[in-house]
């Protein structure tokens, strides 16, 4: 029989020669880099330019070879992409990743191991178990804790709500796995008004409906008011499925009062989930760890090391105080983890999540912890916190700027004072982006004394190498562009009035 297995060009596989390919790609990125946080121009320009370089939208019949393909992709990303390492990039909870984690992430891709069964990657399975145990210990959990890595904070929150839902059902002797959620009488999830929207989405996805979310009032620092939570629980005739406390709100970094909320959860016998996607990282810092005091009383915790942790996305983790409670997700599948294989020790973490094939995101996390230790990561957070406090001081010193909330972690929310607040602040951010000057964030806040919420600007400072000079340059540019935008807006408003007269 003819051997026609290898009639095609032999492809490179796995780790072979990847070092050279990576070096060449890094050089290409450096050569073609636009030098700004985002490239200058409009989104339409960029999308058009990339599409034009790729040509007609159909897969090529013939390849151009590995070297040219990698060079082309690297050129596109360098010329039209985002630079998180730029000194004036400060928009989202999206840090510049550490080089050590980028390199270890390449190892994860090269091995292509998975976490579902022992035979899909024994080393990565052992490393994930070790790392989860170490992070659970940092959270203050005991030896019965467990966890699972996943593709983001939204997903970890979804898993937490699923486990809480089935825990609530089990208390009523209902089994959602077979009967769905219809049998659960008016399920409710209590979280603050500024909790992350992934909680609402999780409730929708899990069949509880977004109407299940009870939005509890917050104080002037955007933290859940325990008395309001208590009142909401006391007055409900529904089934409380979970209380979600946020440790590190997306906009303000504030932390709900965890000890008081834990007391209430215990009194009402309700699952307590702490969404620490942003704030869990405080535990790395000797200066900031006090912020999340009480987190060890949660039943489940979400933490995102692709936020505070300087990992490439994703490196999210759901921790459970009692690993047994992953049982809601447990499955035995004939082709993966039949019971006798599991009993013989060949099981993996398939039963801890909704994913089957699962990337070993943990490799970059372990490499980072080994390289820098807890205190090294904590010092990176401290540096970003100091940068945020420096920015806060600059805002307070500028008459044209108004600080919206004091700094807790690494975000600073403020607005440019002017007549047409919403239009000017929103346009200012877009102007900074499209001029290639800076990348900052925006949000909407109801500021005390205002009739309605208004558009505010936000810095999310996650570059641990940022200096005071960088922050000053950012504000100098921002104020310069703000004057331009404001005067154009005023001219436009005058012209509009004249047209209508
Ligand atoms: C508090 C909080 N929870 C959850 C998430 C969702 O995380 P991810 O974007 O990784 O899904 C975010 C994202 O910013 C967040 O700020």
Q: Could you tell me the distance, in angstroms and rounded to a whole number, from the CA of residue 201 to the centre of ligand 1?
A: 12
pLDDT tens digits, 52-109: 999 999 999 999 999 999 999 999 999 999 999 999 999 999 999 999 999 999 999 9
Atom of ligand 1 nearest to the CA of 314: 10
Q: 69: which residues sit within 8 A by CB, 6+ positions away?
A: 63
How many other CB atoms sit within 10 Å of the CB of residue 63? Answer: 10
Answer yes or no: is the C-beta of 84 below 6 A from any ligand 1 atom. no
CA-nearest residue for atom 4, ligand 1, is 153
Is residue 11 classed as helix, strand or coil in its secondary structure?
coil
Answer yes or no: is the C-beta of 256 below 6 A from any ligand 1 atom. no
Answer yes or no: is the C-beta of 166 below 6 A from any ligand 1 atom. no
Q: Could you tell me the distance, in angstroms and rounded to a whole number, from the CA of residue 28 to the centre of ligand 1?
A: 32
Going across the sheet that includes 187-192, the strands are: 146-150, 316-320, 300-304, 271-276, 239-246, 187-192, 213-216
Atom of ligand 1 nearest to the CA of 157: 4
Q: Residue 223 is encoded by which pair of tokens? A: 């933290």
CA-nearest residue for atom 8, ligand 1, is 153
Q: Could you tell me the distance, in angstroms and rounded to a whole number, from the CA of residue 328 to the centre of ligand 1?
A: 23
The per-residue pLDDT for 5 is 62
Answer yes or no: is the C-beta of 39 below 6 A from any ligand 1 atom. no
pLDDT tens digits, 437-468: 999 999 999 999 999 999 999 999 999 999 99
How many other CB atoms sit within 10 Å of the CB of residue 328? Answer: 18
Q: Which of 151, 153, 308 to probe ligand 1 with, by most ligand atoms within 8 A of CB?
A: 153
pLDDT tens digits, 309-322: 999 999 999 999 99
CA distance 126 to 112: 15
Dihedral (Cα; 265, 267, 269, 273), 10-degree rounding:
10
415: left (phi over 0), alpha (psi -120 to 50) or beta: beta
Q: Which of 201, 250, 408, 462 to probe ligand 1 with, by most ligand atoms within 8 A of CB?
A: 250
Atom of ligand 1 nearest to the CA of 276: 1
Q: Could you tell me the distance, in angstroms and rounded to a whole number, from the CA of residue 250 to the centre of ligand 1?
A: 7
The per-residue pLDDT for 15 is 87
Over the chain (501 residues), the average pLDDT of each successive run of 10 is: 63 87 94 95 95 96 94 97 97 98 96 96 97 98 98 98 95 80 89 98 96 97 97 95 98 98 98 98 98 98 98 98 94 94 94 96 98 98 98 98 98 97 98 97 95 97 97 98 93 72 69
Q: 290: which residues sit within 8 A by CB, 6+ positions away?
A: 282
Answer yes or no: is the C-beta of 318 below 6 A from any ligand 1 atom. no
Answer yes or no: is the C-beta of 93 below 6 A from any ligand 1 atom. yes
Q: Could you tell me the distance, in angstroms and rounded to a whole number, from the CA of residue 163 to the centre of ligand 1?
A: 19
Q: Which of 304, 316, 410 to probe ligand 1 with, by most ligand atoms within 8 A of CB?
A: 304
Answer yes or no: is the C-beta of 114 below 6 A from any ligand 1 atom. no
Answer yes or no: is the C-beta of 410 below 6 A from any ligand 1 atom. no
The per-residue pLDDT for 7 is 59
Q: Which residues pair with 439 in a beta bridge?
A: 89
Q: Residue 28 is encoded by which pair of tokens? A: 């290409």
CA-nearest residue for atom 7, ligand 1, is 153
CA distance 300 to 316: 13
Answer yes or no: is the C-beta of 196 below 6 A from any ligand 1 atom. yes
CA distance 469 to 467: 5
Q: Could you tell me the distance, in angstroms and rounded to a whole number, from the CA of residue 45 to the centre of ligand 1?
A: 29
Answer yes or no: is the C-beta of 462 below 6 A from any ligand 1 atom. no
Answer yes or no: is the C-beta of 463 below 6 A from any ligand 1 atom. no
Atom of ligand 1 nearest to the CA of 156: 11
pTM for the whole structure: 0.95
Answer yes or no: is the C-beta of 316 below 6 A from any ligand 1 atom. yes
Pairing outcome for strands 89-90 and 300-304:
unpaired
Answer yes or no: is the C-beta of 278 below 6 A from any ligand 1 atom. yes
Going across the sheet that includes 454-460, the strands are: 89-90, 439-445, 454-460, 411-416, 401-403
Is residue 254 classed as helix, strand or coil in its secondary structure?
coil
């Amino acid at each position: 029989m003819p051997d026609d297995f290898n009639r095609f060009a032999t492809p490179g596989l796995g780790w072979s020669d990847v070092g050279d390919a990576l070096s060449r790609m890094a050089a290409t990125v450096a050569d073609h880099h636009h030098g700004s946080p985002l490239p200058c121009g409009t989104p339409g320009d960029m999308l058009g330019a990339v599409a034009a370089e790729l040509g007609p939208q159909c897969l090529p019949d013939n390849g151009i070879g590995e070297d040219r393909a990698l060079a082309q992709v690297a050129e596109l990303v360098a010329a039209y992409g985002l630079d998180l390492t730029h000194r004036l990039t400060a928009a989202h909870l999206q840090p510049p990743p550490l080089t050590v984690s980028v390199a270890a992430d390449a190892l994860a891709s090269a091995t292509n191991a998975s976490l579902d069964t022992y035979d899909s990657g024994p080393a990565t399975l052992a490393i994930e178990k070790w790392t989860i145990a170490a992070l659970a210990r940092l959270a203050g959990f005991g030896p019965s804790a467990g966890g699972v890595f996943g593709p983001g904070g939204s997903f970890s929150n979804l898993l937490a709500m699923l486990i809480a839902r089935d825990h609530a059902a089990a208390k009523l002797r209902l089994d959602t796995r077979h009967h769905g959620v219809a049998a659960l009488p008016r399920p409710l999830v209590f979280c603050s008004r500024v909790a992350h929207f992934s909680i609402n989405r999780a409730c929708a996805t899990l069949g509880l409906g977004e109407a299940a979310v009870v939005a509890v009032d917050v104080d002037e620092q955007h933290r859940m008011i325990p008395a309001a939570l208590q009142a909401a629980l006391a007055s409900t005739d529904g089934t409380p499925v979970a209380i979600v406390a946020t440790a590190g709100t997306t906009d303000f970094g504030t932390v709900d009062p965890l000890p008081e909320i834990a007391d209430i959860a215990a009194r009402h016998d309700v699952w307590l989930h702490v969404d620490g996607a942003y704030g869990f990282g405080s535990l790395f810092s000797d200066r900031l760890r006090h912020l999340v005091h009480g987190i060890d009383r949660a039943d489940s915790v979400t933490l995102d090391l692709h936020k505070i942790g300087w990992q490439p996305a994703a490196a999210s983790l759901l921790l459970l105080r009692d690993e047994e409670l992953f049982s809601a997700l447990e499955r035995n599948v004939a082709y993966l983890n039949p019971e006798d294989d599991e009993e013989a020790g060949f099981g993996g973490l398939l039963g801890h999540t909704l994913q089957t094939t699962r990337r070993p995101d943990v490799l970059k996390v372990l490499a980072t912890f080994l390289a820098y230790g807890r205190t090294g990561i904590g010092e990176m957070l401290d540096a970003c916190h100091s940068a945020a406090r420096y920015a806060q001081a600059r805002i307070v010193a500028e008459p044209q700027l108004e600080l919206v909330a004091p700094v807790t972690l690494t975000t600073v929310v403020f607005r440019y004072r002017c007549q047409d607040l919403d239009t000017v602040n929103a346009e200012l951010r877009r102007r900074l982006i499209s001029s290639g000057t800076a990348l900052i964030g925006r949000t909407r806040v109801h500021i005390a004394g205002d009739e309605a919420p208004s558009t505010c600007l936000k810095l999310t400072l996650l570059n641990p190498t940022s200096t005071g000079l960088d922050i000053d340059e950012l504000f100098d540019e921002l104020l310069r562009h703000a004057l331009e935008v404001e005067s154009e807006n005023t001219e436009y408003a005058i012209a509009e009035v004249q047209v209508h007269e």
